[in-house]
Structure 1
């Protein structure tokens, strides 16, 4: 739903407990003890008609007897009683409930699902928010709220933890308590009938005391809401996630390479990466990542230098580094010379920097001082094994002293127990990350690398698309409709290639032949060798049944091959319908790579794009990357870079590099198919040949299913709203394009800013600004179209190359109720009526989106903007505490 009324869930003024009990060993008794003995300062009202008092507090027989309206109700009564109880409380003014009770269709039973719906129906008219059902409860230590039945309470801290599983909640609570880790919020969501991960991310992102958000996810409920909230939260604070169910026990049979390779867990990986979150493997990694991200400056790259007093330790660290995809920093000649001056001649003279087992604290300090100046190292891992020569705490003190005046990314690992206990305490007090094993330390470093990459992806400016392709959507839809009208699920190869051609993907166009003789005649009309393929709606993997023959060089050879093919296929698949054959030129590009580009539909996240190594062994090689549409050049290239074949595509041993931009553009075009047509549920281009001259689709399959839903609705990330594009003409005769902003517009925004006077800058930003930073420009251009909109007035042409003259944007709250607006117009374009034009368009858009109020802050001396607001009937109110600012509001 939204964050509406979640304050009543986490900051209630009064709480009522239904199902309170004093019978030992019952959930009601544990709930009563926790709620009444955790320091909550507001009234807690136990409800149970069989008891006069519980834990020394007066009990009430029912909801009607409560002396005041509770903000929060904690419910642990039989499931059949819950809907009526929710309805009665909501009518009185209760706005949040934690439903501990189970029995609401967890196993899919109809009666339980009916109770669940009845509960939601009772809550919805009053926007009462429900956490659960079938949950452990919630804790907010700062306000003394312990509305759950865990065996211990959470310590106060700066982390928020949210999970579905009650067993995980209690385990993590116990694990964290033993290590002194505290929380701002500790939340069990249970079956997520209402409050889900998207709601929690939106709420916690706005809580200033929350330093990091930790999630344990089994599944999500609303992919678009989750992605929108996650991307917004991850811009503000670290969001770290453990996803359970990485290896499903069985996989559904699929009919294409794309379907076989696009595993469900890999899609979650892609979603977390796209949202700027960090995924870790286990609970220890969850808290370890918090420690890593919270200490020291952010990393710059993946090059690690290892400083050690034992060669074996260094090798263990290197093994872990390479296993996780990191790089070993190469010591510069200057660094080696400086180390020679401070280390004994027997040191390793390379990385790992082995300073020998008798290394003293001073030797560690001097070596670390040199390595900190090395330009090739992005981080340093300091390792120490116990020796009788130097005590662990003395070496730790030397390391801490050397780092005291520096901002450096240094990780430490002191092995052992007795010798390492005090150094670990010292490093913790100095806020220097420390770990029990070299492998865990390296893993933490690579967590940091992954997090930085994901964060950069949120603000990285993509290059302009190298070609302005306009797909022939009408032609593609006509081809798809013909197949659906004929009752077919798979397009034929000629039909699939026609759809690809409509999207500008280069294809080898086949000729259709009904008989072996017709196939021979088709081959005679083509110059050079040909490829013969079987044409059947029942055969998707043609090569598996002998349905493909290559390099046929004469019509007679084609006829004979076709006759033999009919016999082979008929023997292998006697029930298959045979429509004939396709004949196409034999493509000879010896330096080309065989790639796979595909599209499939994930049950949670909708369409996803797949890229990887192609050919008949694609599933065996299993070299692939997944990305969520929509895509731009940066996202497409990033997906390609996550595969092994990408290294080959860059060229090696005299083999020229492939046209990587053409490959990336193919991914963008396939993603666009999903955006334009809800009928397309699977695309499989295999092989896609790629060499220095471009790409060429040799074979393709497309699976379709009739759908009346808007295509963009099934995407986890709202795509560019092309329907908002329009051409506008100014009174002086000039024409411009008014369209939504694109990430590629960042350079044009910098150009727009450079054309502003200092006075206009002050009016817009309320302070002088010399330039528009990359971070600010990226934030203005890389928006989530679900909760923000920015319309730019631009020259016609490709985004990133077209000049921008004005922009209007609104940013809505997570409820979609209220949005703040801002307008920026180039100084030399003022006085042409652009302010009213942009304001009118954004008001129309806000109405269409269901936003109820537009607001903004305007400097009192900004007469032109106040005049625009007056034109559209905004109300004006002096801002409390700031006499120089006027609050303007328009109720829609």
Structure 2
């Protein structure tokens, strides 16, 4: 075991609040521990001499325990944890509720609990936890009604009730576990800690979990990326709806809800995300027991045409592909299968197939070098012995060492066969689609385990210039910045058209005269977001009309919104939008994952088409290039319908540079570059708007000033 050995394999467990009173949590935990645990259980209760005939001690300090399970009222729980820390206890599970989940008083109590744990370097689970169990030593330190079967899955859950239901179901299904943790409020130990612990544990084959949220998204990504090079992590994450999304004013903020952050973050972490509890265990069972495939090319051997077609449809919805057999395999099938059968994939060996025909067909398919994995799909007939077919399937899977899933359809007659398959680590599914999803999980994990993660590029940028631009929001006491912040992009090497902000007609004319040709003029106001809607944009203005155009734009803005703050008029060189593709690059700061970078089809259609993709920053060069190929409009970038391909490398570099910008400045809450016009010759940011946390900027400025003025030591 690793750092959490005292939690999962303690030699001595103290139950603080132990009792034998009927219906109490303290009694349930004592009973569960005394049932199978091979270590010593010490009841702690100053009001009792014995509990279940075991001598009580008055304090956890007297228990000499490795692990303390705390089941006392919240008003005294913090003191008990402090005593445990002072006594040298290494791990604590706080079952007690009444902390952060109950309001401000509970939150304050939880903060104190966290501080005490930090002071004494305690590995603390909870509070508000069902408990922990581990089959390593038969330890069930929960108040659930079921213990776990031994196995090699380690399972964490934010819902204690979910654990009790899963254990009841898993025992019926013959599924076993190594460790199970009810995370509770995650005051100290969270999901990243357990992923790290189990990833280093040779006895844990697959890590699974049910999560409602992730405390520190960036830390979780970094931890899981390393772990998933060797150990699969499969999670169900609840809360997919937009109700959890932040209210936001930018395009990116509107489109980037919490679900997008989790989807991007979990993918970058290498986590397999299941859509359901059934999917969670379907994936876990095949990952736990089957070898990695050489390819995702699957052979389907079946005695039923209809289910065979169903499996083919399921393959089309997955990363798998129907294997193309070699000529040698096709010749063998032609010689051995009935004429009315189908020698191509899916291989239909016909409804009258006996065990020998099934065995022979599966053997031929698995021997084909073009086959990476196989599905044995059967419906019951009078001439087919399911249990015998199961034994043949197990034997051939071991002989060829390729992953196999089984779909023996039926009721009671499947039970004995399913037991034979299960004992050999071959999962059996009633639904062909579930079997394909199981094999798909193997292929997805192989891709994850062979990923190479590049470090983000560190570009040479002008941070001081960028900070000066952001400081304008503090000076104006307005968190919104628009095109007046184009210098921010220049500071980070993001190309922008030639131009600037004029504060009077004369300035506008001087700027226009520095630009070759006619210009674009736009009103600059943080209060007017959609400038074109009010006639706040003029395109193709010659020099002789610039003066009057300036005054006309300001007048229109005043008439539209008399109280709008007018910062001036932007004068900019004309960029031919028809010569390229309008894209958008943006960022929204997620509470858990931090800066969430977006790329997609831009211009006026961004929120209509919602053709976007996301990554958690910092974004590497490889990830940025992947983003440019993930949107539906990607063919436009590659040169669809006779158009010249755009400079995708320039677009990807812009994504990287924006990623660095928003990572460097946590005070940037939202940012849109829209449009970023991608052409064959590069990419240019035409417009920008962002929201700044002015309080954070002011604090950072004060801290910097303080550091700069401190005398040398």
**What TM-score do you get using the length of structure 2 for normalisation?**
0.87
Partner SS state of residue 690, structure 1: strand
Residue 369 (structure 1) shift: 4.2
Distance 1:390 1:586, change over 3 A: farther
Which residue of the partner structure matches residue 201 of structure 1?
Answer: 195
In the aligned structure 1, how far is the partner of 2:598 from the partner of 2:94? Answer: 40
Q: Does 1:265 align with 2:263?
A: no
RMSD: 3.5
Q: Does 1:287 align with 2:277?
A: no
**What does residue range 164-179 of structure 1 map to in structure 2 within 5 Å?**
164-179=158-173
Which residue of the partner structure matches residue 82 of structure 2?
Answer: 87
Residue 190 (structure 1) shift: 0.9
Q: Does 1:625 align with 2:620?
A: no
Q: Does 1:70 align with 2:53?
A: no
Q: Does 1:606 align with 2:600?
A: no
In the aligned structure 1, how far is the partner of 2:562 from the partner of 2:323? Answer: 60
- For residue 491 of structure 2, the aligned residue among 502, 521, 527 is 502
Which residue of the partner structure matches residue 492 of structure 1?
Answer: 482
Q: Does 1:139 align with 2:133?
A: yes
**Cα deviation per residue 1:301-342 (whole Å; 9 max; x = unaligned)?**
544444434443233234333334554445566655554444
Partner SS state of residue 662, structure 2: helix
Q: Is the 8 A contact 2:38 2:137 kept in 1?
A: yes
In the aligned structure 2, how far is the partner of 1:195 from the partner of 1:433? Answer: 33
Q: Is the 8 A contact 2:220 2:269 kept in 1?
A: no
Q: Does 1:98 align with 2:93?
A: yes
In the aligned structure 2, how far is the partner of 1:689 from the partner of 1:304? Answer: 43
Q: Is the 8 A contact 1:305 1:377 kept in 2?
A: yes
**What TM-score do you get using the length of structure 1 for normalisation?**
0.71
Residue 137 (structure 1) shift: 1.0
Partner SS state of residue 442, structure 1: helix
Distance 1:688 1:446, change over 3 A: farther
**Cα deviation per residue 1:472-529 (whole Å; 9 max; x = unaligned)?**
3333233223443333323331423x22233222222344355789878976875566
Q: Is the 8 A contact 2:454 2:620 kept in 1?
A: no
Distance 1:432 1:8, change over 3 A: closer
Residue 632 (structure 1) shift: 2.5
Distance 1:542 1:593, change over 3 A: same
In the aligned structure 2, how far is the partner of 1:28 from the partner of 1:205? Answer: 32
Residue 572 (structure 1) shift: 5.7
Q: Does 1:308 align with 2:297?
A: no
Which residue of the partner structure matches residue 708 of structure 2?
Answer: none
Q: Is the 8 A contact 2:13 2:39 kept in 1?
A: no
Which residue of the partner structure matches residue 54 of structure 1?
Answer: 51
In the aligned structure 2, how far is the partner of 1:35 from the partner of 1:420? Answer: 36
Which residue of the partner structure matches residue 535 of structure 1?
Answer: 524
In the aligned structure 2, how far is the partner of 1:334 from the partner of 1:564? Answer: 79
Q: Is the 8 A contact 1:362 1:398 kept in 2?
A: no
Q: Does 1:36 align with 2:34?
A: yes
Distance 1:104 1:509, change over 3 A: same
In the aligned structure 1, how far is the partner of 2:226 from the partner of 2:272? Answer: 14
In the aligned structure 2, how far is the partner of 1:371 from the partner of 1:559? Answer: 79
In the aligned structure 2, how far is the partner of 1:692 from the partner of 1:238? Answer: 41
Which residue of the partner structure matches residue 706 of structure 2?
Answer: none
Q: Does 1:667 align with 2:649?
A: no
In the aligned structure 1, how far is the partner of 2:534 from the partner of 2:132? Answer: 58
Partner SS state of residue 435, structure 1: coil
Residue 445 (structure 1) shift: 2.6
Q: Is the 8 A contact 1:20 1:48 kept in 2?
A: no
Distance 1:128 1:502, change over 3 A: closer
Which residue of the partner structure matches residue 7 of structure 1?
Answer: 5
In the aligned structure 1, how far is the partner of 2:671 from the partner of 2:64? Answer: 56
In the aligned structure 2, how far is the partner of 1:573 from the partner of 1:374? Answer: 73
Partner SS state of residue 40, structure 2: coil
**Cα deviation per residue 1:258-301 (whole Å; 9 max; x = unaligned)?**
11222212222222222222222222222222222123321345
Q: Is the 8 A contact 1:21 1:48 kept in 2?
A: no
The worse-fitting range, judged by mean Cα deviation, of 386-395 and 621-630 is 386-395
Residue 120 (structure 1) shift: 3.8
Q: Is the 8 A contact 1:46 1:57 kept in 2?
A: no
Residue 539 (structure 1) shift: 2.9
- For residue 19 of structure 1, the aligned residue among 2, 17, 20 is 17
Distance 1:148 1:389, change over 3 A: closer
Partner SS state of residue 616, structure 1: helix
Distance 1:594 1:420, change over 3 A: farther
In the aligned structure 2, how far is the partner of 1:608 from the partner of 1:536? Answer: 26
Residue 406 (structure 1) shift: 0.8
Distance 1:353 1:549, change over 3 A: farther
Which residue of the partner structure matches residue 277 of structure 1?
Answer: 271
In the aligned structure 1, how far is the partner of 2:152 from the partner of 2:674? Answer: 49
Q: Is the 8 A contact 2:498 2:572 kept in 1?
A: yes
In the aligned structure 2, how far is the partner of 1:114 from the partner of 1:329? Answer: 59
Residue 546 (structure 1) shift: 5.2
- For residue 472 of structure 1, the aligned residue among 452, 462, 466 is 462
In the aligned structure 2, how far is the partner of 1:670 from the partner of 1:476? Answer: 12
Partner SS state of residue 612, structure 1: strand
Which residue of the partner structure matches residue 445 of structure 1?
Answer: 439
Partner SS state of residue 578, structure 1: coil
Partner SS state of residue 139, structure 1: strand
Structure (1 or 2) with the greater helix fraction:
2
Q: Which runs of 5+ in 2 are unaligned?
A: 701-713
In the aligned structure 2, how far is the partner of 1:517 from the partner of 1:346? Answer: 87
Which residue of the partner structure matches residue 420 of structure 2?
Answer: 426
Partner SS state of residue 620, structure 1: helix
**Cα deviation per residue 1:25-68 (whole Å; 9 max; x = unaligned)?**
1212212222233333314224250x44322223345557x4x4
In the aligned structure 1, how far is the partner of 2:299 from the partner of 2:552? Answer: 62
In the aligned structure 2, how far is the partner of 1:114 from the partner of 1:570? Answer: 50
Which residue of the partner structure matches residue 775 of structure 1?
Answer: none
